[in-house]
Amino acid sequence: MIPDLDRRDRLSLTWRDPPGWWGFLTTVDHKRIAARYIVTALLLLFLAGLLALDMRWQLSWAENDRMGPQLYNESFSLHGSTMLFLVSVPAMEAMALWLVPLMLGQRNMAFPRLGAFSYWLYLGGVLTLWVAHALDVTPDLGWFEYPPLSGPNYAPGHRADIWAQMITFTEVAALCASVNVAATILKMRPPGMTLARMPVFLWAMLVASLMTILSMPAIMLVTSMLIADRLVSTHFFAPAANGDVLLFQHLFWFFGHPEVYIIFIPATGFVSSIVETFARRRLFGHHVLVLAILAIGCLAFGLWVHHMFAVGLPRLGNDFYTAASMAIAVPAGLQIFCWIATMATGRTWLATPMLWVLGFVATFVLGGLSGVMTASAALDLQLTDSYFVVAHFHYVLVGGAMFPLFGAFCYWYPKATGRMMSERWGRVAFALIVGGFNLGFAPMHLLGLMGMPRRVYTYPAGMGWEGLNQIATLGSAIAVAGGLVFVANALLSYWRGAPAGADPWGASTLEWAGESPSPPWNLAYTPVVDSLTPLWDSPVLRVMDGVAIERREVIVTSVVDAAPLYRQKSAAPSIWPVVAALAVTAMFLGSIFTPWAIAAGALPIAAALTGWFWPQRGRATTGPLRVRS
Amino acid sequence: MPTAGLLLAGCAGPQSALDPGGDQAHALFSLFGLMLWVSGAIYAVVLAGLGWALWRAWRRRGTDARRDATLVGGVDARLDRTLPVVAGAIVLGLTVLITGSFFADRALFATRAAPALEVRVTGHQWWWRVQYRDRVSDGWIETANELHLPQGVTVRLVLNSADVIHSFWVPNVAGKLDMVPGRTNRLDVTARRPGWYRGQCAEFCGTQHAHMAFAVKVEPPAAFRAWLAAQAAPAAPAEGRGAAAFQATCAACHAIRGAGAAGRAGPDLTHVAARRTLAAGALTMTRGNLQGWIAQPKAIKPGTSMPAIPLTPADADAVATYLATLR
pLDDT one-digit tens code per residue, A420-465? 999 999 999 999 999 999 999 999 999 999 999 999 999 999 999 9
Same fold for the pair B115-232 and B241-324: yes
What does each C-alpha distance from A477 to A329, A386, A409, A489 come to in angstroms?
32, 22, 22, 18
Looking at chain A, which residue has its C-alpha nearest residue B201? A453
Residue A5 lies in a domain: no
Ramachandran assignment for A151, one of left (phi > 0), alpha (psi -120 to 50 degrees), beta (any other): beta
Rounded Cα distance, A415 and B83, in Å: 35
Strands B154-161, B117-124: pairing is: parallel
> Are the C-beta atoms of B201 and B209 separated by less than 8 Å?
yes
3-class SS of residue A286: helix
Q: Which residues of chain B neighbour A457 with C-beta distances below 8 Å? A: 210
At a CB cut-off of 8 Å and minimum separation 6, what does A13 contact?
none
A498 within some domain: yes
A310: nearest CB among B86, B102, B167:
B167
Q: Which residues in chain B have their CB less than 8 angstroms from residue A450's CB?
A: 11, 13, 15-18
Q: Which ipTM value was assigned to this complex?
A: 0.94
Direct distance between the N- and C-terminal alpha carbons of chain B, in angstroms, rounded to an integer: 47
The domains of chain B are located at 115-232, 241-324
Beta bridge partners of B166: B179
A4, part of any domain? no
The secondary structure element, H or E, covering residue B284 is: strand B283-284
Q: Tell me the CATH architecture of domain B115-232.
A: Sandwich (2.60)
Is any Cβ of chain B less than 8 angstroms from the Cβ of A141?
yes
- Across the interface, whether the CB atoms of B17 and A451 are under 8 A apart is answered yes
Residue of B34, B180, B276 to mutate, interface with A, max A Cβ within 10 Å: B180
Domain boundaries, position A117: 33-628
Do the beta carbons of residue A529 and residue A190 sit within 8 Å?
A: yes
Does any domain span residue A423?
A: yes
Q: What is the pLDDT of residue A367?
A: 96
Helix or strand holding residue A403 (H, E): helix A403-417
Chain B contact set for A243 (CB, 8 A): 182
Report how many helices (DSSP H) and strands (DSSP E) chain A contains, helices first.
21, 5
Q: What pLDDT does B1 receive?
A: 34
B174-179/B166-170 β-pairing: antiparallel
Indicate the burial class of A125 (C-beta count within 10 angstroms; 0-12, 13-18, 19 or more): buried
- Whole-angstrom Cα distance, residue A586 to residue A135? 18
Q: Confirm or reject contact between A194 and chain B (CB < 8 A).
A: no
The reply to whether residue B98 touches residue A154, judged by beta carbons under 8 angstroms, is no
Q: Please report the residues numbered 196 through 215 in chain B whose beta carbons come closer than 8 angstroms to any beta carbon of chain A.
A: 198, 200-210
CA distances in angstroms from A571 to A12, A618, B296, listed in the order given: 15, 11, 66
Query: What is the model's pLDDT at position B2?
Result: 41
Q: Tell which residue, A497, A363, A495, has the closest CA to residue A426.
A: A497
**Angle at the Cα of B309 from the Cα atoms of B306 and B315, rounded to 5 degrees:** 130
Residue type at A65? D
Question: The sheet that has B117-124: what strands, in order across it?
Answer: B140-144, B127-133, B117-124, B154-161, B185-190
Which stretches of chain B are DSSP H helices? 2-11, 23-59, 69-108, 221-232, 241-249, 287-295, 297-300, 313-324
**B1 CA: distance to closest CA in chain A (Å):** 18
Residue B209: list chain A partners with CB under 8 A: 69, 453, 455-456
Q: How far is CA B258 from CA B244, B250, B252, B268, in A?
A: 14, 15, 15, 12
Query: Which candidate in B94, B112, B161 is best for mutational testing of the A interface (most A CBs within 10 A)?
Result: B94
Cβ atoms of A378 and B175 closer than 8 Å = yes
Low-confidence ranges of chain A (pLDDT < 70): 1-4, 617-629
Q: Given an 8 Å threshold on Cβ–Cβ distance, is B79 in contact with A281? A: no
Say how far apart CA B49 and CA A120 lie, in whole Å: 45
**A200-232 and A245-279 helices cross at what angle (nearest 10)?**
160
- Nearest CA-CA distance, residue B238 and chain A, Å: 35
Contact A343 B108 (CB under 8 A): no
Q: How far is B159 from chain A (nearest CA, A)?
A: 10
Look at residue A455 and tell me if it is in a domain: yes
Q: Is A24 part of any domain?
A: no
- The pTM assigned to this predicted structure is 0.95
First vs last C-alpha separation in chain A: 11
Q: What is the CATH number of the domain that holds A500?
A: 1.20.210.10
Instruction: Show the 3-state SS of A340-353.
Output: HHHHHHCCCCCCHH
Secondary structure (DSSP) of B173-229: TEEEEEE-TT--EEEEEEB-S-EEEEEE--S--STTGGG-EEEEEEE-HHHHHHHHH
Contacts of B207 in chain A (CB under 8 A): 69-70, 73
Determine the distance from the C-alpha atom of residue A610 to the mean position of all C-alpha atoms in its chain, rounded to a whole number: 31
Q: Whose CA is closest to B24, among B127, B140, B111?
A: B111
Do the beta carbons of residue B96 and residue A565 sit within 8 Å?
A: no
CB contact (8 A) between residue B90 and residue A333: yes
pLDDT at B106: 87
3 state SS of A472: helix
**CB < 8 Å to A157, chain B:** none
Contact status of A246 with chain B (Cβ, < 8 Å): yes
Q: Do A343 and B60 touch (CB under 8 A)?
A: no
Q: Which residues contact A363 (CB under 8 A, 6 or more apart)?
A: A395, A398, A399, A400, A403, A434, A437, A438
pLDDT (tens, 9 = 90+) of chain B, 327 residues, equals: 344 444 555 677 899 999 999 999 999 999 999 999 999 999 999 999 999 999 988 887 666 545 554 456 678 888 889 999 999 999 999 999 999 999 999 888 775 666 779 999 999 999 999 999 887 788 899 999 999 999 999 999 999 999 999 999 999 999 999 999 999 999 999 999 999 999 999 999 999 999 999 999 999 999 999 999 999 999 988 888 999 999 999 999 999 999 888 999 999 999 999 999 999 999 999 999 999 999 999 999 999 999 988 889 999 999 999 999 998
What pLDDT is stored for residue B64 in this prediction? 55
Task: Kindly state whether residue A22 falls inside one of the protein's structural domains.
Answer: no
Which of A450, A458, A537 would you mutate first to test chain B, the one with the most B CBs within 10 A? A450
Q: Is A319 in CB contact (< 8 Å) with chain B?
A: yes
Distance CA A354, CA A437 (A): 18
In a domain, A509, yes or no: yes
What pLDDT does residue A607 have?
97
Interchain contact, B91 vs A385, CB within 8 Å: no
- The answer for A 365-394 residues in CB contact with B (under 8 A) is 365-366, 369-370, 372-373, 376-382, 384-386
How many domains does the structure of chain A reveal?
1
CATH superfamily, region B241-324? Cupredoxins -  blue copper proteins (2.60.40.420)
Instruction: Quote the radius of gyration of chain B (alpha carbons, Å).
Output: 28
Give the number of C-alpha atoms closer than 13 A to the C-alpha of residue A267, restricted to the C-beta side. 31
Distance CA A186, CA A202 (A): 10
